[in-house]
Amino acid sequence: MSIRIDKEKCNGCGLCADICPGNLIKMVGEGKNRKAEMAYPDECWGCMSCVKICPKHAIEFYLGDDIGGQGTSLIAEANHREIDWTACRKGCILEKIITSRQEANKY
Protein backbone atom coordinates (compact mmCIF):
# COMPACT_ATOMS: atom_id res chain seq x y z
CA MET A 1 0.00 0.00 0.00
CA SER A 2 1.49 3.27 -1.08
CA ILE A 3 1.16 6.05 -3.61
CA ARG A 4 2.45 6.38 -7.13
CA ILE A 5 3.34 9.76 -8.58
CA ASP A 6 3.04 10.41 -12.29
CA LYS A 7 6.00 12.68 -12.96
CA GLU A 8 4.64 13.67 -16.35
CA LYS A 9 1.59 15.22 -14.66
CA CYS A 10 3.44 16.65 -11.64
CA ASN A 11 3.97 20.41 -11.81
CA GLY A 12 6.36 20.56 -8.86
CA CYS A 13 4.08 22.65 -6.63
CA GLY A 14 5.15 20.77 -3.49
CA LEU A 15 1.69 20.66 -1.89
CA CYS A 16 1.87 16.89 -1.42
CA ALA A 17 5.24 17.09 0.31
CA ASP A 18 3.96 19.85 2.60
CA ILE A 19 0.83 17.99 3.63
CA CYS A 20 2.16 14.47 4.13
CA PRO A 21 2.10 13.95 7.92
CA GLY A 22 5.03 11.57 7.75
CA ASN A 23 7.25 13.71 5.51
CA LEU A 24 7.39 10.77 3.14
CA ILE A 25 7.36 12.76 -0.11
CA LYS A 26 10.45 14.63 -1.22
CA MET A 27 10.82 17.29 -3.90
CA VAL A 28 13.71 16.65 -6.24
CA GLY A 29 15.17 18.70 -9.07
CA GLU A 30 15.10 22.41 -9.84
CA GLY A 31 12.90 24.68 -11.92
CA LYS A 32 10.78 22.88 -14.50
CA ASN A 33 12.43 19.63 -13.48
CA ARG A 34 11.25 19.91 -9.88
CA LYS A 35 9.10 16.85 -9.18
CA ALA A 36 7.59 15.03 -6.23
CA GLU A 37 9.03 11.67 -5.36
CA MET A 38 7.82 9.07 -2.87
CA ALA A 39 10.86 8.53 -0.70
CA TYR A 40 9.54 6.01 1.83
CA PRO A 41 6.79 3.87 0.26
CA ASP A 42 6.89 1.31 3.06
CA GLU A 43 6.00 4.02 5.59
CA CYS A 44 2.79 5.24 3.92
CA TRP A 45 -0.31 4.61 6.03
CA GLY A 46 -2.78 5.68 3.38
CA CYS A 47 -4.21 8.88 4.82
CA MET A 48 -4.92 10.07 1.25
CA SER A 49 -4.02 13.69 2.03
CA CYS A 50 -1.57 13.91 -0.85
CA VAL A 51 -3.98 12.24 -3.28
CA LYS A 52 -6.72 14.75 -2.44
CA ILE A 53 -4.58 17.88 -2.50
CA CYS A 54 -2.71 17.32 -5.77
CA PRO A 55 -4.04 19.88 -8.27
CA LYS A 56 -2.80 17.85 -11.23
CA HIS A 57 -4.30 14.49 -10.17
CA ALA A 58 -0.79 13.13 -10.44
CA ILE A 59 -0.95 10.92 -7.36
CA GLU A 60 -2.73 7.60 -7.20
CA PHE A 61 -3.15 5.45 -4.17
CA TYR A 62 -2.03 1.95 -5.03
CA LEU A 63 -3.51 -1.15 -3.45
CA GLY A 64 -1.00 -3.87 -4.15
CA ASP A 65 -1.39 -7.61 -4.25
CA ASP A 66 0.19 -7.81 -0.82
CA ILE A 67 -3.02 -6.50 0.76
CA GLY A 68 -5.40 -8.16 -1.67
CA GLY A 69 -5.83 -5.05 -3.77
CA GLN A 70 -4.87 -6.84 -6.98
CA GLY A 71 -3.21 -3.71 -8.27
CA THR A 72 -6.25 -1.50 -7.88
CA SER A 73 -5.49 2.21 -7.70
CA LEU A 74 -7.56 5.12 -6.44
CA ILE A 75 -7.38 8.60 -7.89
CA ALA A 76 -9.19 11.68 -6.65
CA GLU A 77 -10.41 14.85 -8.29
CA ALA A 78 -11.26 17.33 -5.57
CA ASN A 79 -13.00 20.67 -5.58
CA HIS A 80 -14.27 22.76 -2.67
CA ARG A 81 -17.59 20.88 -2.53
CA GLU A 82 -16.80 17.24 -3.28
CA ILE A 83 -14.21 14.64 -4.09
CA ASP A 84 -14.68 12.30 -7.04
CA TRP A 85 -12.94 9.00 -6.37
CA THR A 86 -12.20 6.57 -9.19
CA ALA A 87 -11.01 3.01 -8.62
CA CYS A 88 -9.13 1.50 -11.57
CA ARG A 89 -7.42 -1.78 -12.28
CA LYS A 90 -5.32 -2.47 -15.35
CA GLY A 91 -6.62 0.66 -17.05
CA CYS A 92 -10.31 -0.19 -16.46
CA ILE A 93 -12.60 1.82 -14.21
CA LEU A 94 -14.06 -0.40 -11.51
CA GLU A 95 -16.10 2.14 -9.58
CA LYS A 96 -16.69 5.85 -9.13
CA ILE A 97 -17.65 7.29 -5.76
CA ILE A 98 -18.45 10.93 -4.94
CA THR A 99 -18.01 12.15 -1.39
CA SER A 100 -19.29 15.50 -0.15
CA ARG A 101 -16.86 17.68 1.75
CA GLN A 102 -19.75 19.30 3.64
CA GLU A 103 -21.28 16.00 4.76
CA ALA A 104 -18.05 14.10 5.42
CA ASN A 105 -17.00 13.49 9.01
CA LYS A 106 -20.52 14.00 10.37
CA TYR A 107 -21.59 11.35 12.83
Binding footprint of ligand SF4 on the chain (CB under 6 A): 3, 5, 10-16, 19-20, 22, 24-25, 36, 44-50, 53-56, 58-59
- Please say whether the beta carbons of 51 and 60 come within 8 A: yes
Nearer CB in complex with ligand SF4: 16/63: 16
36/6 Cα distance (integer angstroms): 9
- Tell me how far, at minimum, the Cβ of 57 lies from ligand SF4, in Å: 8
Nearer CB in complex with ligand SF4: 57/88: 57
Name which of 70, 73, 69 is nearest 4 in CA terms.
73
